Amino acid sequence: MSAPNNSYDPVEVSALHPDEVERMRTEALDAIAKAAGLEELKEVRIAHAGDRSPLALANREIGALPPAAKAEAGKRVGGARRAVSEAVKARQSQLEDERDARVLVEEAVDVTLPFDRIPRGARHPLTTVAERMADIFVGMGFEVAEGPEVEAEWYNFDALNFLPDHPARTMQDTFFVAGPDGAESGLVLRTHTSPVQVRSMLDRELPVYVVVPGRTFRTDELDATHSPVFHQLEGLVVDEGITLAHLRGAIQVFVERMFGEGLRTRMRPSYFPFTEPSAEVDMECFVCRGASVGNPDAPCRTCSSEGWIEIGGCGVVNPRVLTAAGVDTERYSGWAFGLGIERTLMFAHGVKDMHDMVEGDIRFTAAFGMEM
């Protein structure tokens, strides 16, 4: 027989005293009511309803009570624990509802706000126009060539038959590159893309059919029609039996593809040291097609009522240039042209002011669409 269970520690059993159980229950319900968020409630639940909570510990003491005391203590502690766990549940769902309501407000999406606020980039229209111009010649069998922007004077001038006293060499037009201590470097910022004519003939096997889009530099002030930095598209053909007729045909195809079917072209005699004969190339005004000429009632702003628009220079390659580039002038002949890319962009897209092209305002570029 076991001895009557009267040996329990009165201090431990005090945990089962009604006042004490009531105190634990009140403390738990208070803490639950005060839990301000779900995280906090979780801590409160562990502290007051978890395995090591005062009520759980008190519950364990019941087993040690004399049988007569067990039922009553069980009821008291069990009631308190149920009340606490129900309070936790109720507070839990209350806090969840609050959170859900808050999320609906805080994470609401205003579908009327503008989207895509970081505009996508696009290439500059000068780049894309230059590419379209070059592509027309690529379609006729030309290759695209390149040359340096900082160029040897020899390529930029001497090889192109500019005599030493040619006015284009003076400080007025050319950016000369200073050497160490201000000495002459023999380098310039290329004033045109024509030096790449000579480079192409030296670099390549004949025949040569190249176009050269590129940046060029002259000491002009920036104004509506000039920029110290501008772009040209050079063309060069060197082959056997090449004549001016091929040049006219190539220019004609270019103008029609770029500006419109049926537009006429013309050449006016001109002078360049590196071509002979030389010409300025004009195309018929694609806006008025000549209708504004001598017709003050219908003036044309695109061609200033002249009926023609100048697009570049051209000519038969001077044999001196061929010789400088090591080409046999008995066997080969060629022609070349230089077209202004800014001018082409101005006419093709109605750009009125050079400033727009150089200032880099994204709104100007974006107006051409996102052409990549």
* Minimum distance of ligand PHE from residue 203's CB (angstroms): 18
* CB closer to ligand PHE out of 214 and 313: 313
Question: Residue 21 corresponds to which tokens in the numbers above?
Answer: 């159980």
What is the Cα–Cα distance from 88 to 41, expressed in whole angstroms?
Answer: 8
- Does residue 214 touch ligand PHE according to CB under 6 A? no
* Minimum distance of ligand PHE from residue 197's CB (angstroms): 7
* CB closer to ligand PHE out of 254 and 337: 337
- Does residue 194 touch ligand PHE according to CB under 6 A? yes
* CB closer to ligand PHE out of 157 and 259: 157
Question: Residue 108 corresponds to which tokens in the numbers above?
Answer: 């609401």
Q: Judged by CB under 6 A, which stretch of 17-25, 46-54, 207-215, 333-341 contacts ligand PHE?
A: 333-341
CA angle 160, 162, 163 (to 5 degrees): 140
- Does residue 231 touch ligand PHE according to CB under 6 A? no
CA angle 134, 136, 142 (to 5 degrees): 70
* Minimum distance of ligand PHE from residue 194's CB (angstroms): 4
- Does residue 192 touch ligand PHE according to CB under 6 A? yes
Q: Judged by CB under 6 A, which stretch of 21-29, 99-107, 250-258, 310-318 contacts ligand PHE?
A: 310-318
* Minimum distance of ligand PHE from residue 139's CB (angstroms): 20
Of 147, 307, 313, 334, which one interacts with ligand PHE (CB under 6 A)? 313
Report whether 39 belongs to an annotated binding site: no
- Does residue 337 touch ligand PHE according to CB under 6 A? yes
Number of residues this chain uses to bind ligand PHE (CB under 6 A): 12
- Does residue 365 touch ligand PHE according to CB under 6 A? no
Tell which positions 10-29 bind ligand PHE, by CB under 6 A. Answer: none
- Does residue 195 touch ligand PHE according to CB under 6 A? no
In total, the chain counts a number of residues equal to 372
* CB closer to ligand PHE out of 217 and 337: 337
* CB closer to ligand PHE out of 84 and 341: 341
* CB closer to ligand PHE out of 45 and 199: 199
- Does residue 292 touch ligand PHE according to CB under 6 A? no
Of 265, 275, 344, 365, which one interacts with ligand PHE (CB under 6 A)? 275
State the number of CA atoms in the 13 A half-sphere of 368 facing the CB.
23
What is the Cα–Cα distance from 25 to 33, expressed in whole angstroms?
Answer: 12
User: Which residue's C-beta sits nearest to ligand PHE?
Assistant: 338
Tell which positions 235-274 bind ligand PHE, by CB under 6 A. Answer: 272
Residue 195 and residue 168 in contact, taking contact as beta carbons nearer than 8 Å: no
User: Per the annotation, where are the binding residues?
Assistant: 276
- Tell me which residues touch ligand PHE (CB under 6 A): 192, 194, 234, 272, 275, 278, 313-315, 336-338
Known binding residues for Mg(2+): 276
